[in-house]
């Protein structure tokens, strides 16, 4: 959320599956702390977008380029003036979809899934008018977003904040859209936000998106700051924080600490300690796909010493990762320290910056 944000009222707890990603950032690599096999490229196949004029209802859109672009998995509605960027988006969005499906396979229901609806507005004032017109009951919450956007279920509404940052926001929110529209079982906030942050780091080379989930220096920079000040969140608090508490928080640094640590936690589970927890985390993602995560989490909760005190997020962690919270937290914080303070920090300076490169 943006700086200077006031407290969000508790009524937002009843909104449903909502996720916010509200910070502009520079996507630059971090080296020396992870191995380079996490440079991921996906090829969705031919993308043949259908481009039409968009005639938006209401008065929030005031002229300019107004388009609806339809692909296999997306309906993109945009007023962005950057024509080259917009032309790149159909293939980019389909590439992000392939990325999400590689993490959690799309369920085969025998019926085509509804397309993910994405609104990309040209600037924040236009976005604010659009939100006020289309989400009036939540406008007071969303208007506090200074950069980025939000998602609800299979829809996200964002505004252009520069090419690279907008790509990151779309990848982050797209993961929320994917989970919110494809899988009925509840996904713990630490998994949902951790995966979304894991997907947001992208570099474009020769019009090909390359995802580098372990090289997200926006998250690393924040982790380094909270690590230095001794303000990291305890593991159980990280696991137990739900979507309502994220939205209700009035402490922006704490909110960003949550996102950064959720990213680090997913990164650690997938890649840390020689893959020690990778199998368990994969089973967790597989059970989101097959719809059995809640049953297994409930069994782990009942088996705990104090079931009434175990949150859903903690129960999922118990079911798939470990019940040794003290040992895990010790090793996890050592991993975070290595990420924040690599042995050879000069390598981060020598690595080229993430940048838009359409040629």
pLDDT above 60: residue 1 = no
Q: Tell me, yes or no, whether 302 lies in a domain.
A: no
Chain segment 170-211, per-residue pLDDT in tens? 999 999 999 999 998 899 999 999 999 999 999 998 889 999
Cα 163 from Cα 24, distance rounded (Å) = 11
The answer to whether position 55 is within a domain reads yes
Give me the helix-helix angle, 278-290 and 252-271, nearest 10°.
Answer: 100
Q: Which contiguous run of DSSP H or E holds residue 152?
A: strand 149-152
Task: State pLDDT tens for residues 256-309.
Answer: 889 999 999 999 999 999 999 999 999 999 999 999 999 999 999 999 999 999
Q: Alpha-carbon distance 312 to 301, whole Å? A: 8
Q: Is residue 283 part of a domain?
A: no
Cβ neighbours around 104 below 10 Å, total: 22
Residue span of the structural domain in which 326 resides: 10-82+91-101+113-277+322-350
pLDDT at 13 over 80: no
What are phi and psi for residue 259, nearest 5 degrees? -60, -45
The answer to the question of residue 327 being in a domain is yes
Q: Report pLDDT digits (tens) over 101-153.
A: 999 999 887 788 899 999 999 999 999 999 999 999 999 988 888 888 999 98
Q: Are strands 208-211 and 40-41 parallel, antiparallel or unpaired?
A: antiparallel
Residue 358 has pLDDT above 80, yes or no: no
Report for 30-34, 105-109, 221-225, 325-329: range of highest mean pLDDT: 325-329
**149 inside domain:** yes
Q: Provide, rounded to the nearest whole percent, the portion of the chain with pLDDT above 90.
A: 63
CA distance readout (Å), 97 to 44, 73, 92, 162: 8, 8, 9, 21
pLDDT of residue 245: 62
Q: Which of 23, 22, 20 is nearest to 247 (CA)?
A: 20
With H, G, I as helix, E, B as strand and everything else as coil, classify residue 275.
helix
Long-range contacts of 330-337 (CB under 8 A, 24+ apart): 331/272, 331/273, 332/235, 332/264, 332/265, 332/268, 332/272, 333/232, 335/264, 335/268, 335/272, 335/273, 336/223, 336/227, 336/232, 336/261, 336/264, 336/268, 337/227
- The number of domains in the chain is 1
- First vs last C-alpha separation in the chain: 34
Q: What is the pLDDT of residue 227?
A: 84
- Please tell me the predicted confidence (pLDDT) of residue 58: 83
- Any idea what DSSP says for residue 9? P
Alpha helix (H) residue ranges in 229-324: 235-240, 243-248, 252-271, 278-290, 293-303, 312-320
């Amino acid at each position: 959320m943006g700086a200077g944000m006031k407290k969000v009222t508790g009524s937002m707890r009843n909104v449903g599956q909502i996720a916010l990603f509200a910070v502009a950032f520079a996507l630059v690599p971090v080296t020396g702390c992870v191995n380079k096999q996490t440079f991921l490229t996906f090829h969705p196949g031919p993308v043949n977008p259908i481009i039409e004029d968009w005639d938006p209802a209401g008065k929030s859109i005031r002229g300019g380029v107004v388009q609806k672009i339809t692909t296999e998995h997306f309906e993109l509605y945009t007023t962005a003036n950057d024509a080259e960027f917009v032309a790149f988006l159909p293939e980019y969005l389909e590439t992000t979809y392939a990325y999400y499906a590689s993490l959690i396979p799309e369920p085969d229901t025998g019926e085509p899934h509804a397309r993910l609806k994405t609104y990309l507005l040209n600037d924040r004032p236009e976005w604010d008018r659009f939100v006020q017109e289309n989400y009036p009951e939540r406008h007071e919450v969303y208007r506090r977003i200074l950069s980025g956007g939000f998602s609800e279920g299979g829809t996200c509404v964002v505004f252009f904040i520069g090419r690279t940052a907008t790509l990151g926001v779309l990848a982050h929110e797209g993961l929320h859209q994917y989970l919110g529209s494809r899988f009925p079982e509840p996904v713990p906030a630490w998994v949902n936000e951790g995966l979304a942050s894991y997907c947001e780091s992208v570099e474009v080379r020769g019009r090909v998106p390359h995802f580098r989930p372990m090289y997200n220096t926006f998250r690393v920079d924040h982790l380094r700051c909270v690590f230095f000040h001794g303000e990291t969140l305890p593991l159980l608090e990280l696991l137990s924080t739900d979507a309502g508490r994220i939205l209700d928080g009035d402490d922006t640094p704490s909110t960003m600490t949550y996102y950064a640590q959720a990213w680090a936690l997913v990164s650690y589970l997938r890649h840390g300690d020689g893959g020690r927890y990778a199998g368990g985390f994969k089973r967790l993602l597989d059970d989101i796909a097959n719809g059995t995560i809640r049953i297994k989490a409930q069994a782990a909760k009942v088996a705990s010493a104090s079931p009434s005190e175990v949150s859903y997020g903690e129960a999922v962690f118990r079911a798939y990762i470990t019940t040794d919270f003290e040992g895990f937290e010790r090793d996890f914080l050592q991993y975070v320290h290595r990420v924040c303070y690599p042995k050879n920090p000069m390598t981060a300076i020598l690595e080229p910056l993430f940048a838009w490169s359409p040629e």
